[in-house]
Amino acid sequence: MSIEARIAELGLELPEAPAPGGNYTPVVYIHDLCYVSGHGPLKTDGEMLRGRVGSEVSEEEGYAAARQVGLTMLATLKANLGDLDRVVQIVKVLGMVNAAPDFQNHPKVMNGFSDLMVEVFGDPGRAARSAIGMGSLPGNISVEVEAIVQIRD
């Protein structure tokens, strides 16, 4: 089954791939690796999920935001690769959680992203990962994720 068919089977909808918000490119290719710039939780209606996890939004809402970041990143990969079946492996993920100072469950929030990648790609969606808390993120988004993805021609 193709990755796009798998996404449809899961009942998921990708947002439009976001335009860069500054002087950078969304994806840089080095041989068979894609370095994907940080992405936020862009919904299909164009709005971002916002709020500090642990004070303004719950851990569960943070998980949902991280999952939405995954959908946003898939949209960018599709727009840049042309075909998500070119993805071989999600290699490395850095998850940044906009967290209240006393919040400690950053990995549980980031499971929203990681769980989605495994649902879509199977075991190749399981990546090495770091999950860290941040004092703030651009536009008060709840989660930002960057990734390294191995691709095939």
Q: Which tens digits make up the pLDDT trace of 43-68?
A: 999 999 999 999 999 999 999 999 99
pLDDT of 23: 96
Query: CA dist 118 to 3, 33, 52, 122, 144, Å?
Result: 12, 19, 26, 5, 18
pLDDT of 40: 97
Average pLDDT of every residue of the chain: 97
Q: Dihedral, CA atoms, 105, 109, 110, 113, nearest 10 degrees? A: 170
Q: Is the pLDDT of residue 21 over 90?
A: no
Query: What is the token pair recorded at 95?
Result: 């998850």
Find out if CATH 3.30.1330.40 is the number for domain 3-18+25-151: yes
Q: Give the separation between CA 42 and CA 30, rounded to whole angstroms.
A: 26
- What are 131-142's pLDDT values in tens digits? 999 999 999 999
pLDDT of 76: 97
